[in-house]
Structure 1
Amino acid sequence: MRELAVVLCFVLMVSWLPVSGFFRYFQRALVTPQVQADNNPDWRKADTMGHLPAGLFPSGGGAELVAMRGAILAERQVLANGGLDQQLAAAGTDAAAYAGAIDLASLVPPRMWRDEDQIAARKVTELALLRAAGPDPQRWASAGELLKGLPGTLAADSASPAAWRLVRQRLGASYAERLPAARLEYERVYTGMTQGLPVGDEILPLSGVPWSAWLPALAFWMPLVLFLVLMVVMLSLIVHRQWSHHEQLNYPIAAVASSFIQRDQGGVLPGVMRSRLFWAGLIPILLLHLLNYIAVWFPGYVPQITLHWGQAGLVLQMFPTISQAGNSYALAQGDIFFTIIGLAYFISSEVSFTMGIAGIAVVLFNVQFYAMSGTTADLSASRSGAYLGYALILLYTGRTYYWAVAVKAFGLRGGASDEQAESVWAARLFLLGAAGFVSVLVAAFGLDWLIAIAYTLTLMILFLVFTRVVCETGVPFLQAAWHPANLLINTLGMSAVGPGPLVLLYYLSTVMSQDPRECLMPYAANAMKVAENTGVKRFRLAITGFVVIAIALIVGFIAITWGMYNFGSTRDGYAQQVAAGALNQGTRDLSMLVDTGQYAATAAASGLEKLPLIAENTGKGRELGWIAFGLLAVVTLAVIRFRFAGFYLHPVLFLVWDTYPAARVWLSFLIGWIAKELIVRFGGGRVYQNLKPLFIGLIAGELIAVLVTLTTGWIYHLSTGLMPKTMWIFAG
């Protein structure tokens, strides 16, 4: 049994990588910005890509960037070796001035090096100089003096300093010489991924993928990702004792998963499978889905029993105010997911009821707010505040336990020798991961240390509360629908964050937290609970799981990258545009900093110098108001529940409302809540316990139906080469 449990735990812990997880966005986030840069004039005007470190991208970036970087590196070497002495003398300049000219040239966006409008190029270069000189003014003093001496443009003419005329001439020639080869490499690495490298029906071998171009980028990214994995796995272990033992959290997903593993003594099958009620739940649901799947293949010949309905047109026609208030889709559709109904049976009635009314509540709230104010609500900002508030509630509830673990993690009060040993060691490794994560953000990604710490804390808050919602509600499909970057920029302000961090934070969100429906921490937390239920040592599982995840990262990257170079990355249109959306948002904020005259001051500030700039956070009053509303709403509801134990509304409402998953699962939660309430009221606790296999059977029937449809489609494709017909059983 333990062996099966360990395998299940490892499967859970690597499930955040494929499908809608990490690798849905990682490669695309590294490739699409370079591909789309030439089609975004606003990016060029703001030099948005110049605010990101070149090491983020395969081959070091686009063709122009690679060619110019190579030309500048070669020119520095020639200058250092004394190979330019004669040319410098002939031009009437010296090595020091020429070194400053090279420094200035390195700040010019490569895509603008040969633009006709060198006045615009100069403006962007001035901004680049402000960013570069902020942490080290002396290093860029010579380049700054040279830029002041240029007559309003970067074009070299008779009025330009001699050093600048010479560097434009030499770098221009070297750049032009290197550009064709750089473009060939760009076509292979970037265009090859977006469009696919094979011709016709060819299949690209593994050796045909340009791995060498990706290795530097992987070396740049993987330390950050591995430190994040270490933090998340250890955080899930830290909170496990508090949630599982002190608060007696249900972990419905883990409870159901454990039931498929746990066997009676001497039994071959899991104990739940020996119950007739289990099969009474499984068989009808499986047959229902199989009937619908056959109807997909043979429409008109086999009847289909619909489990999903949508009447958006009718609802909006009957209630036009709903459309004006926004976010009306919750009332316009309904879905029956037997997995959700089954899981709702295992959670508290307050939680299942709250999840059941979340879709209706958000529509009523939006309509009422619109009627009162004439504007739509910003519930995305509200949710970010709600996450902050719920994190405070979680810390307050477990304050005694967390304080004891924190103290012992630093070697005080007996160290890690008692029953909290696994939590203490997990806390130490968590701190190691956090220190490494922040260090990589600062040293490699160039993020200011204060912003790096703030981002790390915000990211952990998102994962912590997100995981709590999954473990408490059992919902297998959830989205936060807000990003740490937005919360930081809304609360601190663009000036305090700074121009470089602005763009980088938006960009990091596309990789780290774009769509946490496939999030590592909920998987890890449920794995810890499965381990507890089956007698597996959790700390050993966490350490081994970290190694397994590291291996899965390598294998997953190879497999998915190979698939993209074979079939192109544009089939997933949404994922293809995510990075561009983040950079568009960064571009708008950069333009606002420039237009308001704050760019220079914010570029020069670092560390604690940023704190006074928080006072300049203007134009975010609406967002701050909604953040405060979400925080206060969650805290108020939690305090009411502390005071009145029977209060039926749970704070999870403000964490999930106005999200796509909540709009899809509300009806199923409501059905599950009604079923449980009727059983408990008329049958009592014993009947409730006896009927658990029935609801586990509902879940198993739907899971097997998914497996059957996937397997059938796979076999059909292998046999015919054609795409099979599909049927969505789960929300996605």
Structure 2
Amino acid sequence: MERVAPNAKRPTPHDAQYVTWRAVLTGLLLMPPNAYFAMQRGIEWSGPPGTISLLYNVVFVLLVLTSLNRLLKRFAPRHAYTQGEFVTIYAMLCVATTLAGHDLIQVLAPVLAYGDRYATPENDWRALFGDRLPHWLIVRDDAALRNLFDGQSNPYDPANFIPWLRPVFWWSVLLILIVLTTLCMCAVIRRQWTEHERLAYPIIEMPYEMTVEGGSTRFFSSRLLWCGFALGAGVDLINGIHHFVPTVPLIPIRTINLGVFFTDKPWSGMGWTPLCFFPFIIGLGFVMPVDLSLSIWVFYLVWKVERIVSAGMGWERFIDTSYSSTQPVGAFLTLLAFALFTARRHLRDVARAAFGAAVDDADEPVPYRYAFWGAVIGFVGIVLFWMRAGGSPGMVALVFAVYLGFILWGTRIRAEVGPPALTLYRPTHFVVDTLGTGRVGKDNLALFALVQGVMRAFRSHPMPHMLETMKLGRRARMSREGKLVLVILGSAAIAAPMGFWAFLDVCYRRGTYGWFGREAYLNAQAWLYRIDPNPDWPDIAMMAGASVFTLLLMFMRTRFLWWKLHPLGYSMAMNWTTEWAWFPIFMGWAAKAAILNHGGIRGYRRASFFFYGLILGDFTMGAMLNIAGLFYGQRIYVFWH
């Protein structure tokens, strides 16, 4: 596959790729249906695209557009789209999908409505939250709330949508500030991670190959690609037919749970252990760096062994509540601190540029001075937003500093590992654990119910996609990359209110359970009922132990060439998404290791087309079945969890 060296010469006017108005217009036309699709999948039928690192709806759109473009190249070559234009469209659709996706507006919007709708004398939420939640951030109109949760109502009835206008405006402002801050952070760290450390960016490999020369003949003419496509699409097609014709057997790609075969202690301590065969995760596991994919499934199995041992010693409750949730935090913080320490010279240059020193940043999408101050302005804007909502300045600054640190590290994991999905710990829980509810304060704890709307699990955050798009633009030899950054920011300004529109349209028509809202208020209620000035020392001890173990893994990797286990794999092993993905990652790792051992790098490059085909086939048929279900008004087949 083609590689562009970090110090490669920038394109000349004859070979440059540009952001064009027709690409922006195409992206704008495609953003609403993609946002609506992402919202409908998440609210009604599950399988939302935002929970996957490589957004399957965007890949499907790329496949359709590049196929049409190949016809244009043949019959009207002057009007064919370039790779740079496809990168522009890809960036816009990623922003639209993530903002409307899981862990952002799909979580946030129910939180704005749930508290007033389900406040009762029994839970006493009106007394607990009523005076502490700003009226301009939530919806309190009884009729609008009743119609939202019950459904069968017109979303464009003024009685339904007018009560949402003010909250939607202010939350859109907050989301734009978050995108501005994280986009500037991407511009600050891009050179260090992309050119100095040369991270792999596995997620963009297939989008890049698909869009080379506006639709790569080499990519689409590969027989191995179509063999993999047939296998990935065939599994989904057969399972889709099973929905209509139950006599057609279902291919069990996610129905096997190893835990049910072990019912006696201590073996029952392993808990839910799914054995899945998702074709697209097998493909993504193949393109991941081999030592990192190895580490993920090895540490997952180690975690299961630890659960079994703990069950034998009577520690099940401790394992379920503290062990699996706080250990990754210790690993995250240690690895983030090490990454920032490694980047200290680069960050020093950025700081010098911000204060007027001459630094070579002419080749950057955003000059360091603007990127630095853009991030500062965005962060200050976020803090002022929550201060106006009633939060204390120091606590708001701390929570969102932790938030930005977590998502920065999640972006690093995506760039280095390319996991199929990634879940991170909630910053609000981290702050409460380390400070204690008494130090956080009741007003801040109440606001944490709303804050969870943007901090739940990070699977659908746009920051990793924005950094990957910068890398994709650089590989595509795009000129004037600053315009691409402006397009991303402008897309966010449109996509934020668009995501709320999609939510209201789906829920007023279909109704909603509002489970995410329930979760947010119950968490905040538990904190408010348990005011304790002391930190959660067992959780802190777990974080500290995980930090020490991470340092040990880093020492082993730097001192012994034979040591293959990576601390990143340890940090990712104990979360919900790895439960689903561990076995297909193992399959992708096994295939890659065998091919590299016997066929070398040439064999790997040739075989990679088969695994691209697995991803593309699974995404294409899965998207088509989901779209068909949207039109038929029923759930046909969901190919991802």
Q: Shorter-chain TM-score: which interval?
A: 0.7 to 0.9
**Percent of counterpart pairs with the same letter?**
22
Change (3 A) 1:205 1:457: closer
TM-score (norm 1): 0.71
Quote the residue 1:232 is aligned against: 182
Quote the residue 2:634 is aligned against: 724
Quote the residue 1:167 is aligned against: none
Quote the residue 1:195 is aligned against: 150
Q: Secondary structure of the equivalent of 2:574?
A: coil
Q: Secondary structure of the equivalent of 1:31?
A: helix
Quote the residue 1:561 is aligned against: 504
What amino acid sits opposite 1:562 in the alignment?
A: D
- 1:679 Cα deviation after fit: 0.6
Quote the residue 1:584 is aligned against: 525
Quote the residue 1:544 is aligned against: 487
1:282/1:697 contact within 8 Å kept:
yes
Change (3 A) 1:412 1:322: farther
Structure 2 CA distance for aligned equivalents of residues 296 and 431 of structure 1: 52
Larger radius of gyration: 1
Structure 1 CA distance for aligned equivalents of residues 579 and 348 of structure 2: 38
Query: How many correspondences in the alignment?
Result: 554
Quote the residue 2:238 is aligned against: 291
- Give the 5 Å matches for 1:140-539: 186-196=141-151, 198=153, 204=154, 206-263=156-213, 269-300=216-247, 302-312=248-258, 314-317=260-263, 319-323=264-268, 325=269, 328-330=271-273, 333-371=274-312, 374=315, 376-377=318-319, 378=322, 379-414=324-359, 417=362, 422-442=367-387, 444-480=388-424, 482-509=425-452, 511-536=453-478, 537-539=480-482
Structure 1 CA distance for aligned equivalents of residues 293 and 458 of structure 2: 21
What amino acid sits opposite 2:106 in the alignment?
A: R
1:32/1:579 contact within 8 Å kept:
no
Structure 2 CA distance for aligned equivalents of residues 355 and 27 of structure 1: 33
Task: Return 348-357 or 576-585, whichever deviates more.
Answer: 576-585
Change (3 A) 1:389 1:519: same
Q: Secondary structure of the equivalent of 2:232?
A: helix
Q: Secondary structure of the equivalent of 1:433?
A: helix
What amino acid sits opposite 1:38 in the alignment?
A: T
Structure 2 CA distance for aligned equivalents of residues 340 and 552 of structure 1: 28
Structure 1 CA distance for aligned equivalents of residues 508 and 604 of structure 2: 53
Change (3 A) 1:522 1:40: farther
2:445/2:528 contact within 8 Å kept:
no
Q: Secondary structure of the equivalent of 2:120?
A: helix
Change (3 A) 1:321 1:188: same
- 1:11 Cα deviation after fit: 0.8
Quote the residue 1:16 is aligned against: 98
Structure 2 CA distance for aligned equivalents of residues 291 and 505 of structure 1: 45
| Deviation string, structure 1 residues 530-586 (Cα, Å, up to 9, x no partner) | 21221234432222211111111122222321332232222xx53342232233223
- 1:31 Cα deviation after fit: 0.8
Structure 2 CA distance for aligned equivalents of residues 308 and 277 of structure 1: 25
- 1:434 Cα deviation after fit: 0.9
Quote the residue 1:175 is aligned against: none
What amino acid sits opposite 2:382 in the alignment?
A: F
Q: Secondary structure of the equivalent of 1:503?
A: helix
Structure 2 CA distance for aligned equivalents of residues 424 and 624 of structure 1: 37
Task: Return 573-582 or 32-41, whichever deviates more.
Answer: 573-582
- 1:727 Cα deviation after fit: 1.7
Change (3 A) 1:3 1:415: closer
Change (3 A) 1:269 1:419: closer
Q: Secondary structure of the equivalent of 1:412?
A: coil
Quote the residue 1:708 is aligned against: 624
Aligned match of 1:691 in 588, 607, 621? 607
Structure 1 CA distance for aligned equivalents of residues 126 and 627 of structure 2: 47
Change (3 A) 1:40 1:217: farther
Quote the residue 1:55 is aligned against: 136
Structure 2 CA distance for aligned equivalents of residues 494 and 576 of structure 1: 21
What amino acid sits opposite 2:458 in the alignment?
A: P
2:426/2:456 contact within 8 Å kept:
yes
Structure 1 CA distance for aligned equivalents of residues 104 and 253 of structure 2: 30
TM-score (norm 2): 0.81
Structure 1 CA distance for aligned equivalents of residues 155 and 444 of structure 2: 39
Q: Secondary structure of the equivalent of 2:583?
A: helix
- Give the unaligned 5+ runs of structure 2: 1-82
Change (3 A) 1:422 1:43: same
1:275/1:693 contact within 8 Å kept:
yes
Structure 1 CA distance for aligned equivalents of residues 574 and 443 of structure 2: 31
| Deviation string, structure 1 residues 486-529 (Cα, Å, up to 9, x no partner) | 111111222322221122134312x1111322121122222222
Structure 1 CA distance for aligned equivalents of residues 159 and 212 of structure 2: 44
Q: Secondary structure of the equivalent of 1:535?
A: coil
What amino acid sits opposite 1:310 in the alignment?
A: I
Change (3 A) 1:51 1:654: farther
- 1:390 Cα deviation after fit: 1.9
| Deviation string, structure 1 residues 200-254 (Cα, Å, up to 9, x no partner) | xxxx162445333223323443332221111122222322222221222111111
What amino acid sits opposite 1:276 in the alignment?
A: R
* CA RMSD between the two structures: 2.4
1:405/1:420 contact within 8 Å kept:
no
Q: Secondary structure of the equivalent of 2:266?
A: helix
2:265/2:312 contact within 8 Å kept:
no
Q: Secondary structure of the equivalent of 1:707?
A: helix
- 1:420 Cα deviation after fit: 8.5
Q: Secondary structure of the equivalent of 2:275?
A: strand
What amino acid sits opposite 2:463 in the alignment?
A: M
What amino acid sits opposite 2:337 in the alignment?
A: L
- 1:702 Cα deviation after fit: 1.0
What amino acid sits opposite 1:50 in the alignment?
A: D
Change (3 A) 1:260 1:625: same
Q: Secondary structure of the equivalent of 1:702?
A: helix
Q: Secondary structure of the equivalent of 1:210?
A: helix
Task: Return 577-586 or 686-695, whichever deviates more.
Answer: 577-586
Q: Which has the higher contact order (CA 8 A, sep 6+)?
A: 2
1:387/1:461 contact within 8 Å kept:
no
Structure 1 CA distance for aligned equivalents of residues 372 and 559 of structure 2: 32
Structure 2 CA distance for aligned equivalents of residues 43 and 210 of structure 1: 23
1:340/1:665 contact within 8 Å kept:
yes
What amino acid sits opposite 1:649 in the alignment?
A: L
Structure 2 CA distance for aligned equivalents of residues 486 and 695 of structure 1: 38
| Deviation string, structure 1 residues 1-54 (Cα, Å, up to 9, x no partner) | 211111011111222123424221222111111112225435456x33333233
1:633/1:654 contact within 8 Å kept:
no
- 1:640 Cα deviation after fit: 2.8
2:354/2:373 contact within 8 Å kept:
yes
Structure 2 CA distance for aligned equivalents of residues 190 and 632 of structure 1: 49
- 1:298 Cα deviation after fit: 0.6
Change (3 A) 1:314 1:217: closer
| Deviation string, structure 1 residues 372-430 (Cα, Å, up to 9, x no partner) | 57353212122222221121121122222122112212223448557696444322211
1:252/1:471 contact within 8 Å kept:
yes
Q: Secondary structure of the equivalent of 1:16?
A: helix
What amino acid sits opposite 1:390 in the alignment?
A: L
Structure 2 CA distance for aligned equivalents of residues 320 and 706 of structure 1: 39
Task: Return 387-396 or 231-240, whichever deviates more.
Answer: 231-240
Q: Secondary structure of the equivalent of 2:429?
A: helix
Structure 1 CA distance for aligned equivalents of residues 311 and 205 of structure 2: 42
